[in-house]
Amino acid sequence: MKYLEHPFRISQLILKSLEGQLEEAERRELDDWLAIEANRKLYITLSQANLDKKKALFEQLHPERSWKRLEKQLAFKRQPRFLRIVRYVAAVLLLGIAGTTVYWYQNRSEIFSSSIQQTEIEPGSAKAFLILASEEKINLESDRIFSLQQDSSVKLDNKGNTLRIESGSPALQASQEYQTLFVPTGGEYKLVLEDGSQICLNSDTKLRFPLVFSSEKRVVYLEGEAYFEVAPDSQKPFVVVTQGMEVNVLGTKFNVKAYQGDRSVITTLVSGSVRIKEDKSSRTALLRPNEQCVYSADDGRMQVRSVDSQVFLGWIYGRFIFENETLEEILKQFSRWYDVEVLFQNPEVAGYRFSGNVDRFDQISTLLGMIEKTYDISFTVRDRTVIVSKK
């Protein structure tokens, strides 16, 4: 059935039905869905409610309207990184068929009766460590201004969950050494390099960088995920080196996801242009805004595709945004942010697919509870382990 192939289809049909705008073919499609008793009861319940409330609810489930609203929230509001953006009137996880999502609205007080309620795991927060070239490790938990060398005018200003590198006339030695900003699981942090480039680091991420760029290129090394807003400098191209490839830019905004163990390195371009270069073969791919390169470290293949870049930037605005993602990938992101281990007792459920947009700062039980109401999936939380099984 069409609505099973497109999860949001049924929500559009219900809304048009309530407004008396169904065409004949659409009516037959909705009738097929209403042949199931539980669906019919849900439809009757909705039909008895106030139409304005229904429209507001189903607009949340309308793909075009919801994504346009999302773009306005994320693309044009320049709020500080790592602060929660204003919650939507009712931020909804668009999981499975729309009817199940509506069910969640009507029964949200009953969602957390399962075993996941017994253990609350808080979301991540801003935290990071600076690992110096000397291997000294500095916890960036408190605001401070410090210098790594007495004879250097390079200052490190750690304030407001942001490490900012400020330079005057630095010693040559300081510019040649690489430091590492390490963000552990359950963390996020922001770095402002001495050239003004801004980098947001996601959980379980390492970025190696010099205090001052003194060579012909501005080169950094990434393991994990980071969002870059690179300061323009036509004399010094900016290069991100990661698993088997390089991202070359002059001045632009882009996201790189390159976790160890992942099958692919994903580069998503927001503005400007970037050139992806594969190390071994020197093959390249040029990206334009709202394009993404998926690079396979196994065989060096690069696939370029058009995307909505905002879908892949939700994490820097305090959101989890999924578009037809597998449960395995979703829980992988949860595990990094909530610092938990995930175990699948039934491997086949890892391939179930979901779409959604939820608050990254909700407790993990809230998100798992919504997923439980969508598929025959059960989550059990023991200490910091999430066990996934079929009901």
How far is Cα 186 from Cα 144, in angstroms, rounded to an integer?
Answer: 22
Written as one string, the DSSP assignment of 319-346 is: EEEEEEEEHHHHHHHHHHHHT-EEEESS
How far is Cα 49 from Cα 44, in angstroms, rounded to an integer?
Answer: 9
CA atoms within 13 A on the CB side of 312: 24
Same domain, 217 and 297: yes
Which pLDDT value is given to residue 96? Answer: 31
Instruction: Quickly list H helices, the chain.
Output: 2-5, 9-18, 24-34, 37-47, 51-59, 63-75, 98-106, 172-176, 327-338, 364-372
Same domain, 232 and 338: no
Which pLDDT value is given to residue 120? Answer: 74
Tell me the CATH number at 332.
3.55.50.30
Per-position b or e across 115-145, b if 16+ CB within 10 A of its CB: bbeebebebbebbbbbbebeeeebebeeeee
Final residue in a domain of this structure, among 311, 328, 358:
311
- Report the SS3 class of residue 199: strand
Angle CA 251–360–122, to nearest 5? 130
Same domain, 153 and 297: yes
Which pLDDT value is given to residue 86? Answer: 26
Task: Give the count of domains, the chain.
Answer: 3
Contacts 24+ apart (CB under 8 A), 195-198: 195/231, 195/233, 195/236, 196/231, 197/228, 197/229, 197/230, 197/231, 197/238, 198/228, 198/229
CA gyration radius for the chain?
23
Query: What are 197's two structure tokens?
Result: 């480039």
Q: Which helix (H) or strand (E) holds 271?
A: strand 264-271
Final residue in a domain of this structure, among 264, 290, 311:
311
Count of C-beta atoms within a 10 Å radius of residue 108: 14
How far is Cα 97 from Cα 374, in angstroms, rounded to an integer?
Answer: 8
Same domain, 171 and 277: yes
Same domain, 240 and 158: yes
Final residue in a domain of this structure, among 13, 44, 59:
59
Same domain, 7 and 70: no
Same domain, 160 and 208: yes
- Say which residues have a Cβ less than 8 Å from residue 143's Cβ, sequence separation at least 6: 158, 159, 160
Cα end-to-end span (Å), the chain: 25
- 201 near 81, Cβ under 8 Å? no
pLDDT tens, per residue, the chain with 391 residues: 333 334 345 666 776 776 677 788 878 888 888 888 777 776 776 565 544 544 444 444 444 444 344 434 333 233 333 322 222 222 222 333 333 343 334 444 343 444 554 557 889 999 999 999 889 999 999 899 888 776 577 889 999 999 999 887 554 555 578 999 999 999 999 999 999 999 999 999 999 999 988 778 899 999 999 999 999 998 899 999 998 899 999 889 999 999 988 889 999 999 999 999 988 777 899 999 999 999 987 777 899 999 989 889 999 989 898 888 899 999 999 999 999 999 999 888 999 888 888 889 988 988 888 888 777 889 999 889 999 998 8
- 103 near 45, Cβ under 8 Å? no
Q: Which helix (H) or strand (E) holds 155?
A: strand 155-159
Angle between helices 98-106 and 9-18 (to 10 degrees): 70
Same domain, 130 and 262: yes
Same domain, 142 and 290: yes
Count of C-beta atoms within a 10 Å radius of residue 43: 19
Tell me the CATH number at 221.
2.60.120.1440
Same domain, 75 and 189: no
pTM above 0.85, yes or no: no
Same domain, 266 and 385: no
Same domain, 222 and 346: no
Q: Which domain holds residue 8?
A: 1-59
